């Protein structure tokens, strides 16, 4: 039995762990994949206060190190359901908490083009940091217009022969500083107001059919990195959370869920700005709310 079981070891969950431990609560953080969460996919983070520039993996490691230094326990497992405030895991293990914080973040949204799933790992990918090295010296494309797509294109431009950034609008959602850096690269092309209509190649991706300016053309690439945003994955907790139409936990800034003793933090929560800084802010808020609940 722990005072607080935290589901998700990204910035929100690990910050919650640090705050809860400092309030004297026993804490277990359960992560299904990699501690640090989505940020470990960012090659360079330059907007987290206190760090001029830090790699996502280094920042994730530091958040984990800090939570563990405060005495948080950690477990690698996938939570498949909550029974009251007990986390039921894929391995069969169960971890009982007096309170639970759900901080499961979001996962990459698929582009939604035919054969996308079939070609994952054979040309189609969602993480340039993880898979970019396989495409050294090769032509690739990135699709999306947010910070993830811009950062992926920048990273890939350092090792790939050519990078084509395909975005459905003329304006980017991501930071202008990243757009400017990409514009300065000689091996980066912009294909704006364009849509990928077909993935070409039998067993491996060999190219993309792209609709652009009312015409269709073929872009030969060996890799496509999809960076079209993220979506929450809260299906396992639908019975304890209220979900909005997009599947996010419908909880306000106070991180309270409709279920007493269950709190929700980070990118999986309904919010206007999903950034590292807002995720760690949620972690602190949820931890202190859980502590207040336990001490009441």
Range 8-21 burial, b when 16+ CB lie within 10 A, else e: bbbbbbbbbbbbbb
- Could you say whether residue 224 binds ligand NAP (CB under 6 A)? no
Residues 4-43 contacting ligand NAP, CB under 6 A: 42
- Could you say whether residue 276 binds ligand NAP (CB under 6 A)? yes
Stretch that binds ligand NAP, among 68-76, 166-174, 244-252, 257-265 (CB under 6 A): 166-174
Comparing CB distances to ligand NAP, the nearer of 151 and 285 is 151
- Could you say whether residue 136 binds ligand NAP (CB under 6 A)? no
Which one among 107, 115, 270, 274 touches ligand NAP, defined by CB under 6 A?
Answer: 274
- Could you say whether residue 145 binds ligand NAP (CB under 6 A)? yes
Stretch that binds ligand NAP, among 59-67, 145-153, 242-250, 287-295 (CB under 6 A): 145-153
The Cα-based distances of 25 to 30, 94, 188, 231 in angstroms read: 16, 19, 50, 31
Residues 71-130 contacting ligand NAP, CB under 6 A: 111-112
Quote the DSSP letter at residue 260.
T
In the complex, residue closest to ligand NAP by CB = 146
- Could you say whether residue 212 binds ligand NAP (CB under 6 A)? no
Tell me the β-bridge partners of 95: 87
- Confirm if 77 and 32 have CB atoms less than 8 A apart: yes
Range 142-164 burial, b when 16+ CB lie within 10 A, else e: bbbbbbbbbbbbbbbbebbebbb
- Could you say whether residue 230 binds ligand NAP (CB under 6 A)? yes
- Confirm if 2 and 96 have CB atoms less than 8 A apart: yes
Minimum distance of ligand NAP from residue 212's CB (angstroms): 13
- Could you say whether residue 262 binds ligand NAP (CB under 6 A)? no
Minimum distance of ligand NAP from residue 140's CB (angstroms): 17
Q: Closest by alpha carbon to 259, among 284, 244, 242? A: 242
Q: Give the DSSP H/E element, type plus range, for residue 218.
A: strand 215-220
Angle between helices 276-295 and 11-22 (to 10 degrees): 40
Which listed residue (33, 61, 77, 127) is catalytic? Answer: 127
Residues in Cβ contact with 66 at an 8 Å cutoff, skipping those fewer than 6 apart:
14, 18
Residue 152 annotated to the active site = no
Q: Rounded to the nearest 5°, which phi and psi values hold at 173?
A: -85, -25
Minimum distance of ligand NAP from residue 141's CB (angstroms): 12
Residue 255 annotated to the active site = no
Q: What are 191's two structure tokens?
A: 């294909």
- Could you say whether residue 45 binds ligand NAP (CB under 6 A)? yes
- Residues lying near ligand NAP in the complex (CB under 6 A) are found at 42, 45, 47, 111-112, 143-149, 151, 168-169, 173, 227-230, 274-276
| Residues with active-site annotation | 127, 130-131
């Amino acid at each position: 039995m722990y005072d607080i079981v935290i589901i998700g070891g990204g910035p929100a969950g690990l910050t919650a762990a640090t705050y809860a431990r400092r309030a004297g609560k026993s804490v277990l953080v359960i992560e299904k994949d990699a501690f640090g969460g989505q940020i470990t996919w960012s090659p360079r983070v330059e907007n987290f206060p206190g760090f001029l520039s830090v790699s996502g993996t280094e920042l994730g490691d530091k958040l984990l190190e800090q939570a563990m230094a405060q005495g948080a326990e950690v477990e690698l497992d996938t939570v498949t359901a909550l029974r009251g405030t007990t986390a039921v895991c894929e391995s069969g293990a169960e971890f009982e908490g007096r309170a639970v914080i759900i901080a499961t973040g979001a996962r990459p949204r698929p582009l939604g083009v035919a054969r996308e799933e079939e070609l994952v790992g054979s040309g189609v990918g969602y993480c340039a940091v993880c898979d970019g090295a396989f495409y050294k010296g090769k032509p690739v494309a990135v699709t999306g217009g947010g910070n993830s797509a811009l950062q992926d294109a920048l990273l890939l431009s350092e090792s790939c022969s050519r990078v084509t950034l395909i975005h459905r609008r003329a304006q980017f959602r991501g930071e202008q500083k990243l757009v400017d850096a990409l514009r300065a690269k000689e091996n980066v092309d912009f294909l704006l107001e364009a849509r990928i209509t077909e993935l070409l190649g039998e067993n491996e991706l060999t190219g993309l059919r792209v609709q652009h300016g009312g015409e269709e053309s073929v872009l030969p690439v060996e890799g496509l990195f999809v960076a079209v945003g993220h979506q929450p994955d809260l299906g396992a907790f639908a019975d304890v959370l209220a979900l909005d139409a997009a599947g996010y936990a419908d909880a306000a800034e106070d991180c309270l869920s409709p279920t007493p003793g269950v709190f929700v933090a980070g990118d999986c929560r309904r919010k206007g700005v999903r950034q590292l800084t807002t995720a760690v802010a949620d972690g602190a808020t949820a931890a202190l709310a859980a502590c207040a609940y336990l001490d009441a």
